[in-house]
Chain A
Amino acid sequence: AQKVTQAQTEISVVEKEDVTLDCVYETRDTTYYLFWYKQPPSGELVFLIRRNSFDEQNEISGRYSWNFQKSTSSFNFTITASQVVDSAVYFCALKGGATNKLIFGTGTLLAVQP
């Protein structure tokens, strides 16, 4: 069975603080893919990143960075110098290599206060 756990239900930070969103996954597949999506208050789902199980390199995109560690089955997301516009629900998701089904975590609501 595949599962994604986002233990942090809500996080509140003040603007310019750094914040890390945790994601822990379970899968028996040797090939799998991990995703992060952002859902701003407007409600749409915005793709942020995809990482495959063979690539453990961390990735940085502007203020966003992702730390993938197979040893701990984690794919954490860090926002540096958070901004009010980062306020959203963030979902981590997992897709096994042999399936098209994307399994989502329950999401983390990030509130960035000015």
Chain B
Amino acid sequence: NAGVTQTPKFQVLKTGQSMTLQCAQDMNHNSMYWYRQDPGMGLRLIYYSASEGTTDKGEVPNGYNVSRLNKREFSLRLESAAPSQTSVYFCASSETGPGGHGYTFGSGTRLTVV
């Protein structure tokens, strides 16, 4: 089925380790997003990419970097993981431009930093 694919689904890191979360969509959407979900906080936007070649900070970008590799792929990198980055990470995609375009979400990556 068409959609948003995230890998890995689960990951445990030690403090200070680095890793990259991968996200790919096959819906030909221009815009892609990374959110984190924490208890009681809802989903908060980390970074987004309105179109291929552009990225912008969201609400909570510190400690993260992103790469819009091509139209399909948008990766999130933790250079030096911290326990505060323990969270569930969701990637999403949508059409670009004004309008009520809904988001399609991936199934999430549960990351634990110890």
User: Is B96 an interface residue when CB atoms closer than 8 A count as contact?
Assistant: yes
> Which chain A residues border B53 with CB–CB below 8 Å?
none
Interface positions of A from 68 to 110, Cβ below 8 Å from B:
91, 95, 97-98, 100-107
Q: Kindly supply a per-residue 1/0 record for chain A positions 2-46, scoring 1 wherever the CB is within 8 Å of any chain B CB and 0 otherwise.
A: 000010010000000000000000000001010100000001110
* Contact-residue size bin, chain B (C-beta under 8 Å from the other chain): 20 to 34
Are the CB atoms of B42 and A105 closer together than 8 Å?
yes
Q: Kindly supply a per-residue 1/0 record for chain B positions 73-101, scoring 1 wherever the CB is within 8 Å of any chain A CB and 0 otherwise.
A: 00000000000000010101010111111
Are the CB atoms of A97 and B107 closer together than 8 Å?
no
Give the number of residue pairs across the A-B interface with Cβ within 8 Å.
53
Are the CB atoms of B42 and A45 closer together than 8 Å?
no
Give the distance in Å from the alpha carbon of A104 to the alpha carbon of B99 in the complex. 17
> Which chain B residues border A9 with CB–CB below 8 Å?
40
CB distance from B83 to the nearest CB of A (A): 21
Q: Which of A47, A97, A101, A107 contacts B42 (CB 8 A)?
A: A107
Residue numbers of A with Cβ under 8 A of B are 6, 9, 31, 33, 35, 43-45, 47, 50-52, 91, 95, 97-98, 100-107
Q: What would 10 more interface pairs be, CB under 8 Å, given A6-B42, A47-B102?
A: A31-B98, A43-B88, A43-B107, A50-B100, A95-B100, A100-B94, A100-B101, A104-B43, A105-B42, A106-B40
